[in-house]
Chains A and B, each alone.
Chain A
Amino acid sequence: MRRFTASSFVLAAIAIGASAQAQTAVPAPTAPAPAPINCRRGYQCSSYGLCTEQNGRCVAVTSSDCRGSGVCRHMGACMADAGMCVVPPPEPLDTEDGTVDRNLDVMWGGLGVSLGGVGLGMVALPLLLLEDGDGIAPGLILTATGTTALVVGVPLIALGASDIPAGTKPANAGLMVGGVVLAGLGTASLTITSGVFIGSEDPLWGVPVALSLATMAGGSIMAAFGAATVPITPEDDEEWATSAPEIRVGPGGVGLDWRW
């Protein structure tokens, strides 16, 4: 259900007032045919987004009517609804209006990294099987790289596919991805150092293992901070609303809006 904020209703009241003022200029039915209203000129379009003529009234029909107006720039009322510009309610990210309810980029990235890891493993296999043994070293390197890619890719898929509650966003997606990568590298390093150093005569064998564990733990905690959900701010709405190019086609005109 769509819920509007108190400021939406204030704006609505302002917009109705502006629209009523525009209407008062229309003569009574008995008078000669009314002159066509040019809604794009005048303060009601530039200030309130009432830029489209409909049944003798100036109203906001599309969000592009609102986006160039003062109420959008100053109060965030950038969405057309019932003829007026209103503040869009916080909604789950990624719907068609430019937001995302999942970290789909992260999910697809994780899938790509995982498939890359499996691919590296498939390339490594024939190398390991070369009869002269020359392929063993590069095969093992490719296997280790592919395995590490999978360790990083699997949590990215899972985190990216998780729902983000309405009105919130991840605190820092970059920190989350970076943390997962660090944790994945720590895990791979832990596997390798454990295999190499356990049972060795080296008295300091525990140091690389402990460092690997610390990297894994640090990366996980860093990613957890990045994945924490925080409320969406009006600045986010503004950024999402204006970052994509928009083409407008209408009778007698074609337009392109691209703001960044």
Chain B
Amino acid sequence: MQQVDTGEEGDASPGLAIVAASLSTFVPVAVGIGMMGAADGEGGLIATGFAFTTLGLVIGPSAGHWYAGEAGRGAATMGLRFLAFGAGGGLTFGGIAVLVDSNDTGAEAAGFTMVGLASVMGAAGLGLVIWDLVDAGEAARRSNREDNEERRGTGPQVRFGVGQLSAEWRF
């Protein structure tokens, strides 16, 4: 049977990648929500809590990919989440401002459209959060497979063992 490299063996642990992504997402989000909930109208605490929550959602899920050695992929998905949440936040504030100031149906429609688009952007951002959390373990396996492939190298290789001899030529 052909040997299949599942990526379970290697430097990066899939379990640790999942733990890294989960902790760096959920701990700041929980702390941030806790701060906002306990703020009792205090602006500074609300802003700090909001910042914690946002950073947890934007940066946290990429931690698993960074741990696994997929720095570029982690940065790319972080950028996408930043764009999605940034656009979503901007559209929400813009839409609410339009709705508050609206005097006619046209402006109201524009305001609701902006808030609707903000929901789409926010939902896409949250979807990207889940994707990175789910993919963190697989990122470690991918990285291990690539490392194993590199270690094997190219050219002729002969291996001796107790009761066995194998020869291989990779190109």
| Interface residue ranges, A against B (CB under 8 Å) | 3, 5, 7, 89-90, 117-118, 121, 124-125, 128-129, 131, 143, 146-148, 150-155, 158-159, 162, 165-168, 176, 179-180, 183-184, 187, 191, 194, 197-199, 205-206, 209-210, 213, 216-217, 219-221, 223-225, 227-232
| Contacts A/B (CB < 8 Å), 30 sampled | A90-B2, A124-B116, A125-B109, A125-B113, A129-B109, A146-B119, A147-B120, A148-B123, A150-B127, A154-B127, A155-B134, A158-B131, A162-B138, A165-B7, A165-B142, A167-B2, A176-B134, A184-B126, A194-B36, A206-B34, A209-B37, A213-B26, A220-B130, A220-B134, A224-B137, A224-B138, A227-B137, A228-B137, A229-B138, A230-B6
- Majority SS of interface residues in chain B? helix
Known contacts A151-B127, A159-B131; 6 additional CB pairs below 8 A are A125-B112, A129-B112, A153-B127, A187-B130, A191-B126, A197-B37
**Do B123 and A151 touch (CB < 8 A)?**
yes
In the complex, A121 Cα to B137 Cα: how many Å? 33
* Chain B 102-137 near chain A by CB (<8 Å), digits 1 or 0: 000100110011001001101110111111011111
**Do B7 and A129 touch (CB < 8 A)?**
no
* Residues in chain B near residue A125, CB distance under 8 A: 109, 112-113, 116
In the complex, A224 Cα to B138 Cα: how many Å? 8
In the complex, A210 Cα to B31 Cα: how many Å? 11
* Residues in chain B near residue A224, CB distance under 8 A: 18, 133-138
| Interface residue ranges, B against A (CB under 8 Å) | 1-2, 4-7, 14, 18, 22, 26, 29-30, 33-34, 36-37, 39, 41, 105, 108-109, 112-113, 116, 119-120, 122-124, 126-131, 133-138, 141-142, 145
**Do A121 and B133 touch (CB < 8 A)?**
no
* Residues in chain A near residue B119, CB distance under 8 A: 121, 143, 146-147
**Do B33 and A154 touch (CB < 8 A)?**
no
Q: Least Cβ distance of B153 to chain A in Å?
A: 18
* Residues in chain A near residue B29, CB distance under 8 A: 213
The 7 A-B pairs at the shortest CB distance, nearest first, are namely: A154-B127, A150-B123, A167-B4, A220-B133, A155-B131, A231-B4, A223-B134
In the complex, A131 Cα to B124 Cα: how many Å? 30
Partner of B130, one of A121, A155, A197: A155
In the complex, A128 Cα to B105 Cα: how many Å? 12
**Do B130 and A232 touch (CB < 8 A)?**
no
* Residues in chain A near residue B2, CB distance under 8 A: 3, 5, 89-90, 167
Most chain A Cβ neighbours within 10 Å, of B119, B127, B129: B127
Q: Least Cβ distance of B109 to chain A in Å?
A: 6
Q: Least Cβ distance of A56 to chain B in Å?
A: 35
- Look across to chain B and name the residue whose beta carbon is closest to the beta carbon of A124: B116
**Do B14 and A184 touch (CB < 8 A)?**
no
* Residues in chain A near residue B126, CB distance under 8 A: 151, 154, 184, 187, 191
**Do B1 and A162 touch (CB < 8 A)?**
no
Q: A151-B126, A199-B37, A228-B14 are in contact. Are A220 and B113 (CB under 8 A)?
A: no
In the complex, A166 Cα to B7 Cα: how many Å? 12
In the complex, A151 Cα to B135 Cα: how many Å? 16
In the complex, A224 Cα to B141 Cα: how many Å? 12
* Residues in chain B near residue A3, CB distance under 8 A: 2
* Residues in chain B near residue A227, CB distance under 8 A: 134-135, 137-138
- Look across to chain A and name the residue whose beta carbon is closest to the beta carbon of B171: A1
Q: Least Cβ distance of B35 to chain A in Å?
A: 10
In the complex, A124 Cα to B34 Cα: how many Å? 32
Most chain B Cβ neighbours within 10 Å, of A7, A217, A229, A230: A229
In the complex, A157 Cα to B145 Cα: how many Å? 24
Partner of A184, one of B7, B112, B130: B130
